[in-house]
Amino acid sequence: MRVYGFLDNLGVEYDRLDHEPAVGADIVQSITEALSPAVACKNLFVTNSKGDEFYLIVMRAEKHFTGRIVARQIGSTRLSFASPELLERYLGVRPGCVSVLSLINDGGGRVELLVDADVYSAEYMRCHPCVNTSSLRLKTADVFGRVVPATKHSWRLVNV
């Protein structure tokens, strides 16, 4: 409910679909059809090799993540998946529930957002509102022009 209030306070329009936990191919396909033409996003919480820098990578769901390619683009050491405990500590969500909207839970600004250029160029994107039993379709321009700035997070474009 906090996410919906956050979006409503910003005046950001969204389409909401409540559903069973989004873990199987059938449910994901039904979400895709219902919220078309929104780009389905894969959201990865990663850390550098020292474990002192954290990144949320938002990329198209069908793409494959290669840590060294993204690390090279941002001038970081090797990137690898952060633990579920760190995900909950910094973004306040469990695995399978993370999205760009999870940044509202990072009041300390510890997480930097990395956005795949193919997501950024889409008209609409799809994401969870910090739970995997609901999905939203949002205008990509609203996400990066209004939502992310309201969380006070920096972000960079990358090519995944």
Parse the chain into domains and list their residue ranges: 2-150
Residue with tokens 């949002």: 138
Task: Say which residues have a Cβ less than 8 Å from residue 74's Cβ, sequence separation at least 6.
Answer: 55, 114, 156, 158
Note whether 130 and 120 are within 8 A (CB): no
Q: Determine what percent of the chain is predicted with pLDDT higher than 70.
A: 100
- pLDDT range class, residue 27, cuts 50, 70, 90: confident
According to the CATH classification, is domain 2-150 in 3.30.70.3280? no
The DSSP annotation for 100-129 comes to GGGGGG-TT--EEEEEEHHHHTSSEEEE-S
Note whether 14 and 5 are within 8 A (CB): no
The stretch 17-44 carries a mean pLDDT of: 89
pTM for the model stands at 0.94
Question: For the segment 34-86, what is each residue's pLDDT rounded down to a tens digit?
Answer: 999 999 999 999 999 999 999 999 999 999 999 999 999 999 999 999 999 99
* Residue 157: strand, helix, or coil: strand
Closest-CA residue to 39 (of 115, 149, 103): 115
Residue 25: predicted pLDDT: 74
Q: What CA–CA distance (Å, rounded) separates 141 from 124?
A: 8
Both ends of the chain: CA-CA distance in Å? 32
For residue 140 the two structure tokens come to 């990509």
The stretch 121-148 carries a mean pLDDT of: 97
